[in-house]
Amino acid sequence: MITAVTTAAVSQWRRKTLGKVVFVPTMGALHAGHAALIRRARRLAGKDGAVAVSIFVNPTQFGPNEDLSRYPRPLRADEALCRSEGVDLLFRPDIREMYASDFSVAVSEKSLSLRFEGAERPGHFDGVCTVVAMLFQIIRPDIAVFGEKDWQQLAVVRRMVRDLKFPIRIVGHPIVREEDGLALSSRNRFLPPDARMMAPRIFQALTAAAMEAEGGAKPASLERQLRRDLGRIPGATLSYASIVEETTLEPIGRFTSETKARALVAVKLGGVRLLDNLALPIAR
Ligand code: PAF
């Protein structure tokens, strides 16, 4: 594995790399969910291709009251995971490599970004789009793999790639869960024990909604049920629970045979913001 800390070193590597390049952008604190993304990237790259991973805790996607300074940075363990998963290039720039001190240009998605996470965390997706666009320019991948846990992020990145004509295929990889259903996230380590015990109830609420959807329940009733179930988790504060069209993230008034629906939820538990989502099988 080559570790690069400068864009110049990545460019040099890129010039010599002839096969398909598949990219997994991360903020580090890697866990089994990231390992699954890297393995997916490996399969997509094929035997002649290469897998590139970036680790960069991007300050522009954190709000002023968010946990940038406390975001975990276990660099040694992250490097070991990348090496053992057969990553070809690890790019881990520092902030000066990514942002000039008088940095003044940003990429802003102006529709999908305004809802859900974007409404709760103003400017978050501008930070995500800007850094992902920069990483795409630096790595120049053929394919990029993103986890489906951050479903809204995936939808926003797809929109950016479509609208700005990046010649990159975006692949979403299914959520990896703990045995009890909790979606893996770098932030789970901050859950106090009592909150950790309650956290699987988020996935239970989602699976109950999926079963009701299959049985013919309407979107409004599913949302009510989800909000009720999530609201009953001891110590939880509900941010949102919505049934949306999976690409546009528009609310769904009525299911039709064409609808691709997804339930998106965010809950604050034990001081930690937990996101989850699930595709809803619609009764046809
Ligand atoms: O999902 C993440 O880890 C980050 O938002 C990303 C895509 C690496 C951009 O900083």
The pLDDT confidence band at residue 118, using thresholds 50, 70 and 90, is: very high
Task: Please identify, among 173, 202, 231, the residue that sits at the C-terminal boundary of a domain.
Answer: 173
Domain end among 173, 195, 217: 173
Catalytic residue among 31, 34, 124, 173: 34
Mean pLDDT, the chain, as a whole number?
A: 97
CATH code assigned at 24: 3.40.50.620
Considering its fold, how many domains does the chain have in total?
2
Is there a domain that residue 133 lies in? Answer: yes
Residue 97 above 80 pLDDT? yes
What pLDDT sits at residue 180? Answer: 98
232: containing domain? 186-280
**Residue 63 domain-assigned?**
yes
Same domain, 40 and 165: yes
59/116 same-domain check:
yes
Give the Å distance between the CA of 284 and the centre of ligand 1: 36
Residues 31 and 144 grouped into a single domain: yes
263 and 131 in a common domain:
no
Are 237 and 257 contacting, i.e. CB atoms less than 8 angstroms apart?
Answer: no
If one counts every other C-beta atom within 10 angstroms of the C-beta of residue 47, the result is 6
The percent of residues above 70 in pLDDT, for the chain, comes to: 100
pLDDT attached to residue 82: 98
Domain termination residue (choose one: 152, 173, 194): 173
Q: Which of 92, 70, 84, 72 lies closest to 186, judged by CA?
A: 72
What are the tens digits of pLDDT across the range 4-48? 999 999 999 999 999 999 999 999 999 999 999 999 999 999 999
Q: Are residues 40 and 147 in the same domain?
A: yes
How high is the pLDDT of residue 245? 97
Q: What is the CATH number of the domain that holds 273?
A: 3.30.1300.10
31 is catalytic: no
Contacts of 191 (CB under 8 A, 6+ apart): 199, 269, 270, 272
Q: Residue 67 pLDDT > 90, yes or no?
A: no
Indicate if 81 and 141 belong to the same structural domain.
yes
Is 181 a member of any domain?
no
Q: Which two tokens stand for residue 158?
A: 């797809």
Which residue, among 1, 4, 164, has the nearest Cα to 98 in the 3D structure? 4
What pLDDT score was predicted for residue 257?
86
Do 162 and 270 fall into the same domain?
Answer: no
Task: Locate all alpha helices (DSSP H) within 31-150, ordered by sequence.
Answer: 32-45, 75-84, 95-98, 116-120, 124-139
In a domain, 59, yes or no: yes
- Closest atom of ligand 1 to 54 CA is 8
pLDDT at residue 234, as a whole number: 98
The model's pTM: 0.97
Same domain (yes/no): 39, 118: yes
Same domain, 166 and 191: no
- Tell which one of 23, 24, 26 to mutate to probe ligand 1, the residue whose CB is within 8 A of the most ligand atoms: 26
What is the whole-number distance in angstroms between the Cα of residue 276 and the centre of ligand 1?
16
Is position 179 within any domain?
A: no
168 plus 190 within the same structural domain: no
For 141-171, b/e burial (b = at least 16 CB within 10 A) is bbbbbbbbbbbbbbbbbbbbbeeeebebebb
Tell me which of 8-17, 61-70, 210-219 is least confident: 61-70
Q: What is the mean pLDDT of residues 246-253?
A: 97
> Is residue 241 assigned to a domain?
yes
Output the pLDDT for position 65. 85
Residue 25 beta carbon below 6 angstroms from any ligand 1 atom: yes
Same domain, 10 and 103: yes
Lookup: tokens for 74: 């276990």
Instruction: Please work out whether the CB of residue 60 comes within 6 Å of at least one atom of ligand 1.
Output: no
Whether residues 16 and 45 fall in one domain: yes
Please say if the pLDDT value at position 121 is more than 90.
yes
CB of 261 closer than 8 Å to CB of 280: yes
Q: Which ranges in 59-105 belong to alpha helices (H)?
A: 75-84, 95-98
**Mean pLDDT in residue range 101-120:** 98
